[in-house]
Structure 1
Amino acid sequence: MTARSSIGAAQLDRALGDWQQGRESAYRSLGGALRTLVLDGRVPVQTRLPSERELAAALGVSRTTVAAAYELLRAEGFLASRRGAGSWTALPAGRPMPVAGLSPFPTDGGGVIDLGVAALSAPEPWISEAMAAAVAELPSYTRTHGDFPFGLQVLRQAVADRFTRRGLPTGPEQVMVTAGAAGALSLLLRLSGPAERIAVESPSYANALQAIRFGGARAVPVPLAEDGWQLDAWSRTLREAAPALAYVIPDFQNPTGLLMPEQQRQELVALARATGTQLIVDETMAELSLEPDGPPAPRPLAAFDRTGSVITIGSAGKTFWGGLRIGWIRARPELIRRLAADRSSMDVCSPVVEQLAVRHLLAEALPELLAFQRRRVREQRDALVAAVRQELPGWTFRVPGGGLSLWVRTDDAGPGGSALATAAERFGVWIGSGPRFGVDGVLERFVRLPYAQPPEVSREAVRRLAAAAAGGPSASVPGEFSLL
């Protein structure tokens, strides 16, 4: 194993913060702080660290202290070194790597509360009304073969119009309808070859990371700071790792809920253009802003692109209902034509009735439906936040201004994310542990808690999580909290 990126002494000093605390010897404190940075994903695995001399100068300690800390990490398996190549972060041998994304808990799971999937129940009566309108329009299409690889023209136009209203002028020739955002990403990953590098945020969407693994590509993590994207880290990764693609979620990022400001959007597009990296932008959460009195939403990231190198993924799944399974890609017209031709070996096209239903929702019901969705998600978010603060006061998180989930750091004294997820299932709660949202088995102190359930269900789920974290005996689970 060798380094795939690096971190400078000044940046590592900032990341370490106030590391020298308590009565522990300086080298042990420094080693422990560096270990935490690795396990929390703030310094990725296979990152080359500064030399002992450089880090000692930045931290204002002796070189002996840094050398002893590095030696401690090597002994624990968190650092690897080779003469002439320096030292880079690692994980101890035998540590399990994430191998799966997140799937819904089986619907025959009795009283299990599903906090694994960040997806809402259908907003009614809008979904049923849209399906009825779609069926009424269906005769206009039944005289055809029913295969529309680009998607129905009326839906492509509705999606293009929505981009235009959000500040990104778009024509229907720039839009392709897909089988949800997952189908869109699967198609786009074909743009990279086997073993190609793809830069991703850390943490990132678990199922996207799984799709990258299944496609044979190598995800290169770029850590998210507590308050957002670190453009210096992105610059270093794009220059040093030279990834062909980068997958980012700038709008209420999944799982953290972070929102990228416009200035950073502009800078990231410029970085990608300078390094020849194509950006795949996941906008599936973009419509779920929960702060009615907040600042205006940033323009889509592609609004800062002048070369057609930014590809945007969208979906009806989070905004409306996942059961529709309709998504889309916005890209330059020649790429849309290529993707539509490639699609014949995958799923050919998306269902006609569902496309017509989404067209109805976008063109005729969107303002009222969005207001309803945002009100109920905001209520659900606030209920989950209050429950976690009451039942698990040692857990820390920031309250996101949108999206569907809390990214929570658990108490250091309790079980890590993977152990907690296993224990929680015995108490009738299904959650996503932190390593599922990372690349190298890190993020073990984290869990993702969606606020996609009604308030009373979330409160019960948190009570069960508190019992699981405390290590008490599992209890019977009431069936009334099943998803069905």
Structure 2
Amino acid sequence: MAESTLSARALETLLGEWRGKGSAYQALAERVRLLILDGRIPVDTRLPAERDLAERLRLSRTTVTAAYGHLREHGLVQSLRGSGSVTRLPGAPSTLPAPPGTDHIDFSKAAPPALPWLPEVARQAIDDLPAQLGDPGFDPIGTPALRAAIADRYTVRGLPTSAEQIMVTIGAQHAIALLSRALVGRGDRAIIEAPTYPHAYEALRTAGARLVPVAVVPHDGSGPDRDAGLPGDGDETAAMTRAIQHSNPVAAYLMPDFQNPTGRSLTVDARERMLDAAARQGTVVIADETTGELDIDRGASLLPMAAYGPAIMVGSVGKTVWGGVRVGWIRADRPLIRRLLAVRSPGDLGTPIIEQLLVTRLLERMDDILDLRREQLRAGRDRLEILLAEAFPGWHVPHVDGGIVTWIGLGAPVSSQLALAARSHGLIIAAGPRFGIDGAFERFLRLPICYPAETTDAAVQALARAWRSLSGAPVADQGLLAAVV
């Protein structure tokens, strides 16, 4: 039985501008296919009845029937007696998709390669293990050494913190999900940035939140605050404070530094005003710092968000060390830490000890890690900017000064079409609407700046081929792009 049902109206919103020059049934099927593949329509979702969707889209029922039939032929929809047409994935009827094969470049994940010295530190961490073997090993709050190391890192950065304010989690996403369950009740409003990190709004929505989006001002290298190394964000600040005052949200999730996907950083004034508005309304601010220390050349020294007012901090080593080291944390007041322990116990029994030992050692070398990442990100950003300027002169590519991604303006609402075409050319990218709700951001595309040069070269080549395949899409000569390695 399907876990959820998608109404014809909701599907129409997700589809956006889906009609092309080809047959209507193929265009409809291809857009639904992309929505399933990139997660905007979850697996095990019941699609609208053919008659309902035909009426909503002003199509003949024959067209919708043909589109559903096309999806069934490709293993993306299964017809179940009593359940209608239910979304599936090829080769995995009710599971997540398998990783892409070696013939695909996965540019949908914005994460740097593992640290070169990670194996060495892992071996050292194993030497620390015997001291931990005297108890059962279930650790729902974090080892004292790691909690102290995380607290010390905050203190060094200008936010005095004690170990009692830290809970260690299984990555930042786990932290966001725990906070969502602890803070949000069904029907409560929660503010999110738009666009934003998709798994964050999914966690809030799963907890029952009614989402209130607030538009982010993308980083474009211009604006009244450029002398401080930051874009202008007065409009965003005003919109955020109005949303807090008018919607009375229980929580607000935001990324103050190098926001994913726009690369925007908030000024000191914006941080103070947002936190002041939230405190007066009783709104809990969740500040995600997963990319907070990945400064390339911002030129502005900013403290962690909670140094400017009440805020819960979320962090991890997924974007600095390696995504395969699943360790994150929450910095909050002691009463909330105790509440989180109660919320956590039904779902998991703690963060793995060996990974905590590894991260404890790595935090001692965090300055070295950030120096390495800064140089890698600078090289990746500069190379991607050159390649995109040559291949796509009509695109707007902002010059980000930190973080791991850039938010590109395509000049036309074709992001989903481009993402689908790219798959046919061996490239997986995340379409702009993946970072919003209700089908927004078709004019944008997120690309990572954290991949090695040879991977970036090959990805841009594939992206150029996909762009050319879209009817009437201009593209410059590809002579600058390196051969696939």
Shared topology, TM-score over 0.5?
A: yes
Q: What's the CA shift string for 1:69-119, capped at 9, x where partnerless?
A: xxxxxxxxxxxxxxxxxxxxxxx9669xxx9xxx99844512211110111
- 1:234 pairs with 240, 260, 265, which one? 240
* Other-structure match for 1:25: none
Does structure 1 conserve the Cα–Cα contact (< 8 Å) formed by 2:457 and 2:484? no
- Equivalents in 2 of 1:300, 1:368: separation in Å? 20
Shift of 1:394: 0.9
Shift of 1:225: 2.1
Instruction: Trace 1:172-251 onto structure 2 (pairs within 5 A).
Output: 172-190=163-181, 191-226=183-218, 227=231, 229=233, 230-251=236-257
Instruction: Trace 1:467-482 onto structure 2 (pairs within 5 A).
Output: 467-471=465-469
Q: Secondary structure at the match of 2:429?
A: strand
Q: Secondary structure at the match of 2:127?
A: helix
Q: What's the CA shift string for 1:432-452, capped at 9, x where partnerless?
A: 111110122111111100112
Is 1:112 the equivalent of 2:104?
A: yes
Is 1:420 the equivalent of 2:426?
A: no
* Other-structure match for 2:308: 304
Q: Secondary structure at the match of 1:322?
A: coil
The aligned amino acid for 1:159 is I
Q: What's the CA shift string for 1:181-206, capped at 9, x where partnerless?
A: 01000100011001221101111001
* Other-structure match for 1:396: 396
Is 1:124 the equivalent of 2:100?
A: no
- Equivalents in 1 of 2:152, 2:56: separation in Å? 52
TM-score by length of 1: 0.73
- Equivalents in 1 of 2:356, 2:267: separation in Å? 32
* Other-structure match for 1:433: 431
- Equivalents in 2 of 1:228, 1:113: separation in Å? 35
* Other-structure match for 1:318: 319
- Equivalents in 1 of 2:99, 2:245: separation in Å? 46
Shift of 1:310: 1.2
- 1:250/1:271 CA distance change after superposition, 3 Å: same
Gaps of 5+ in 2: 1-15, 18-54, 59-86, 88-94, 219-230, 472-482
Instruction: Trace 1:48-127 onto structure 2 (pairs within 5 A).
Output: 106-125=98-117, 127=118
The aligned amino acid for 2:301 is A
Is 1:162 the equivalent of 2:166?
A: no
Does structure 1 conserve the Cα–Cα contact (< 8 Å) formed by 2:100 and 2:106? no
- Equivalents in 2 of 1:445, 1:458: separation in Å? 22
Does structure 1 conserve the Cα–Cα contact (< 8 Å) formed by 2:151 and 2:166? yes
- Equivalents in 2 of 1:196, 1:453: separation in Å? 39
The aligned amino acid for 2:329 is W
- Equivalents in 1 of 2:342, 2:143: separation in Å? 15
Q: Secondary structure at the match of 1:265?
A: helix
- Equivalents in 1 of 2:396, 2:109: separation in Å? 21
- 1:263 pairs with 260, 269, 275, which one? 269
The CA RMSD measured in Å over matched residues stands at: 2.4
* Other-structure match for 1:366: 366
Is 1:337 the equivalent of 2:342?
A: no
- 1:106/1:450 CA distance change after superposition, 3 Å: farther
Q: Secondary structure at the match of 1:395?
A: coil
Instruction: Trace 1:403-414 onto structure 2 (pairs within 5 A).
Output: 403-412=403-412
TM-score by length of 2: 0.73
Q: What's the CA shift string for 1:110-161, capped at 9, x where partnerless?
A: 2211110111110111x11221111000000112110111101100000000
Is 1:274 the equivalent of 2:280?
A: yes
- Equivalents in 2 of 1:406, 1:104: separation in Å? 27
Does structure 2 conserve the Cα–Cα contact (< 8 Å) formed by 1:282 and 1:312? yes
Q: Secondary structure at the match of 2:329?
A: strand
Does structure 1 conserve the Cα–Cα contact (< 8 Å) formed by 2:165 and 2:331? yes
Does structure 2 conserve the Cα–Cα contact (< 8 Å) formed by 1:228 and 1:259? no
Shift of 1:397: 2.6
- Equivalents in 1 of 2:343, 2:210: separation in Å? 22
- 1:228/1:182 CA distance change after superposition, 3 Å: farther
Shift of 1:222: 0.3
Does structure 1 conserve the Cα–Cα contact (< 8 Å) formed by 2:406 and 2:448? yes
Shift of 1:366: 1.6
Gaps of 5+ in 1: 1-38, 41-91, 474-479
- Equivalents in 1 of 2:204, 2:391: separation in Å? 36
Q: What's the CA shift string for 1:8-34, capped at 9, x where partnerless?
A: xxxxxxxxxxxxxxxxxxxxxxxxxxx
Q: Runs (4+) of structure 1 moved beyond 3 Å?
A: 92-95, 103-108, 226-229
Q: What's the CA shift string for 1:368-422, capped at 9, x where partnerless?
A: 222111111211111111111111111113111100001011132xx61111100
Shift of 1:481: 6.7
- 2:139 pairs with 135, 139, 148, which one? 148
Does structure 1 conserve the Cα–Cα contact (< 8 Å) formed by 2:184 and 2:208? no
Does structure 1 conserve the Cα–Cα contact (< 8 Å) formed by 2:422 and 2:463? yes
Is 1:290 the equivalent of 2:296?
A: yes
Does structure 2 conserve the Cα–Cα contact (< 8 Å) formed by 1:112 and 1:481? no
Task: State the percentage of identical aligned residues.
Answer: 40
